A = this chain, B = another copy of it.
């Protein structure tokens, strides 16, 4: 099976995240879906509502990855500068999008005004991304998707554009959680990682009151490789006489049904 490498980055635009006022939850939402689509999320940046910072990040990330998703800064107030900054990043004009203008005029009717009209301004050539929550559409220009910052709106926008993303083999992961310590299993775990180069094995220890141990996450695109690594880790836990729980996206008895 040939795996095409499709990559992505996220750019969070917002003083409110950098001040600690707002806990970002957009990264995790987008990341989970990209994992299912097989798209590798390789970088996230969070920058303030400052034009030069946004331009710099959009240029760096859009040129390096297949897709860039931005969140925040697409509303109607003075601190909403994403559209203008993205236009400058690509050195293309910021114009009033006729379709967006019609959507806003129809929705607001008598309440349509100059401030709301601003939300129709987008880089020339943008495609609209619909907004089923609060109407004002988001936009895509080149490989950059500029989404709302509010999670309820962002999620609907992101879900709506998923069908147009290039998809590839999904990432799968199995997790073995056990009551052993990293310092005891680390040597054997490293051997397993060396023997299983087609998976990433992550080791995430936890220390709670009466509950100390480690979650071992086996992640990759090749189901057989994930099965092999999972079985090796289970054997390792048994050899240390550990207790374990297993969460599998790739069941261990599925080998017979896998196509090669």
Interface check A122, CB cutoff 8 A? no
CB distance from A122 to the nearest CB of B (A): 17
Q: What is the oligomeric copy number?
A: 2
Partner of A186, one of B76, B171, B183: B76
Interface check A248, CB cutoff 8 A? no
A183-223 CB contact bits vs B (8 Å, 1 = yes)?
Answer: 11011011001000000111111110000000001010000
Chain B minimum-CB-distance residue to A25? B23
Partner of A203, one of B12, B75, B133, B207: B75
Complex contact A187–B114 (CB within 8 A): yes
Partner of A20, one of B32, B48, B75, B77: B32
Interface check A44, CB cutoff 8 A? yes
Chain B minimum-CB-distance residue to A136? B183
Interface residues of A (CB under 8 A from B): 12, 15-25, 27-35, 41-49, 53, 75-80, 108, 111, 113-116, 118, 133-134, 150, 152-153, 171, 173, 182-184, 186-187, 189-190, 193, 200-207, 217, 219
